[in-house]
Amino acid sequence: MSCKVLFQYRLPMDGFDELPSDFELFVPIDDTFPGDEFLKHLSTADILVSVFGQKVTKEMMLQAPNLKLIANYGVGYDNIDIACASELGIMVTNTPNPVTEPTAELAMGLMLAVARNIAGFNNDLRVGKVPRWTVLNNLTTTLYGKTLGIIGMGAIGRALARRALSFGMNIIYHNRKRLDDLVEQKYNASYTDLETLLRNADIVSLNLPGSTETHHMIGASEFKIMKPQAILINTARGVVIDEQALIKALINKEIAGAGLDVFENEPSIPEELLKMPNVVVTPHVGSATHETRAEMSRLVASIITRFYAGEKSIPIVNKDVLSGDGFRGKTFY
Ligand code: 8YV
């Protein structure tokens, strides 16, 4: 059996050398394939390795009659039309575990960078704009003893809670589903509704997927109820925040600052945000470490092998595909 694996974007090749020799890999030389080369390959591909920022649309799937598996390189899968994949009998998987710790690490880093003005001092010192040691200048905000409100208490939210606990912070959280008592106790985290969280948190961290349900979840009315000293951290998806409302809230001092790794229209970042000294921005690097990128690749390679072995324990996003008559992986499952 030969199998054509198409990469939508150039990735580290860790783990792919372990695929059987009849697996043919089609990887772009640059970041993506030029012109319509990708679509030509897609028309005969068995497996697509997709990534954030590159859409996998209904039109594309309709042109791929052999496509059985879309193995997404990343935890978020808002780039893929999942309902259509299920309808066409295509399984979609993601890579949740590898991205958990590094994304929580970055969220913690952004919290520190904004609260303690690390990025601002670093910039200012280099251009001689900041007084050196003084007592009454250069004052920032202590995280110890502050309340962190985590919106989205999945794996990344919990990994962030673990870190924040070691910093002596109080944890409140909001989630679609309240966690079990034992899990709440483990993270010393209290459940609140969204409004209570926004009213009480000194730092608000977004750790939930981007979807139609979470689109603009934080907008003008949410900023109005947040504390004026609050800091907003987003390592999830840009669309969760109404970016124009955020800019206004920062200008009007409705909140004190923001640490942002993701933006509404990536890769573009509004000029206003880039100019604000109380905003720290990073270019969507939550999972961008050498270790994690390699681990994500190894996981995708192993998912492909395990798909052909009919394993149900792989991270399947659209489990409903398994029970559908038209599931294209039926011969293995
Ligand atoms: C990466 C991410 O950009 O995993 C995700 O959902 O947003 C990021 O960590 C992505 O994994 C690369 O495809």
How confident is the prediction along the chain (333 residues), in pLDDT tens digits per residue? Answer: 689 999 999 999 999 999 999 999 999 999 999 999 999 999 999 999 999 999 999 999 999 999 999 999 999 999 999 999 999 999 999 999 999 999 999 999 999 999 999 999 999 999 988 778 889 999 999 999 999 999 999 999 999 999 999 999 999 999 999 999 999 999 999 999 999 999 999 999 999 999 999 999 999 999 999 999 999 999 999 999 999 999 999 999 999 999 999 999 999 999 999 999 999 999 999 999 999 999 999 999 999 999 999 999 999 999 999 999 999 999 999
Q: Which residues are catalytic?
A: 237, 266, 284
pLDDT at 2: 87
Peptide bond just before 267 cis, omega within 30 deg: yes
Q: CA 231, CA 198: separation in Å to the nearest integer?
A: 11
Q: How many CB atoms lie within 10 A of CB 251?
A: 10
Please say whether the beta carbons of 208 and 158 come within 8 A. Answer: no
Does 238 contact ligand 1 (Cβ within 6 A)? Answer: no
Residues 6+ apart with CB under 8 A from 61: 67, 81, 84, 85, 88, 90
- Tell me the pLDDT tens digit for each residue of 251-305: 999 999 999 999 999 999 999 999 999 999 999 999 999 999 999 999 999 999 9
Q: Is 76 in the pocket of ligand 1 (CB under 6 A)?
A: yes
Nearest to 169 by CA among 155, 190, 151: 190
CA pair distance 82, 79, nearest whole angstrom:
9
Q: Alpha-carbon distance 286 to 284, whole Å?
A: 6
Which residue's alpha carbon is at the smallest distance from atom 9 of ligand 1?
A: 287
Answer yes or no: CATH 3.90.650.10 is held by domain 3-94+290-323: no
Specify the ligand 1 atom closest to the Cα of 73: 13
Distance CA 43, CA 194 (A): 45
**Chain region(s) in the chain for CATH 3.40.50.720:** 3-94+290-323, 100-281
Q: For ligand 1, pick from 287, 296, 299 the residue to mutate: most ligand atoms within 8 Å of CB.
A: 287
Atom of ligand 1 nearest to the CA of 236: 7
pLDDT the model gives residue 285: 98
| pTM confidence score | 0.97
- Pocket test residue of 99, 260, 299 for ligand 1, highest count of atoms within 8 A of CB: 99
Centroid of ligand 1 to alpha carbon of 311 (angstroms)? 24
Q: Is the CB of 74 under 6 A from ligand 1?
A: yes
How remote is the CA of residue 294 from the centroid of ligand 1, in Å? 13
CA 238 to each of CA 93, 230, 284: distance values in angstroms, whole numbers, following the listed order: 22, 19, 10
Q: Express each pLDDT in 163-174 by its tens digit.
A: 999 999 999 999
Please tell me the residue having the least CA distance from ligand 1 atom 6: 76
32 φ, ψ to 5°? -130, 170
Which numbered atom of ligand 1 lies nearest the CA of 76?
A: 6
Distance of alpha carbon 267 from alpha carbon 59, whole angstroms: 24
In the 3-class helix/strand/coil scheme, how is the chain assigned residue by residue?
Answer: CCEEEEECCCCCCCCHHHCCCCEEEECCCCCCCCCCHHHHHHCCCCEEEEECCCCECHHHHHCCCCCCEEEEECCCCCCECHHHHHHHCCEEECCHHHHHHHHHHHHHHHHHHHHCCHHHHHHHHHCCCCCCCCCCCCCCCCCCCCEEEEECCCHHHHHHHHHHHHCCCEEEEECCCCCCHHHHHHCCEEECCHHHHHHHCCEEEECCCCCCCCCCCECHHHHHHCCCCCEEEECCCHHHECHHHHHHHHHCCCCCEEEECCCCCCCCCCHHHHHCCCEEECCCCCCCCHHHHHHHHHHHHHHHHHHHCCCCCCCECCHHHHHCCCCCCCCCC
- Confirm or reject: Cβ of 75 under 6 Å from ligand 1: yes
- Regarding the beta carbon of 52 and ligand 1, being less than 6 Å apart is answered yes
Report how far ligand 1's centroid is from the alpha carbon of 296 (Å).
10
CATH superfamily of 100-281: NAD(P)-binding Rossmann-like Domain (3.40.50.720)
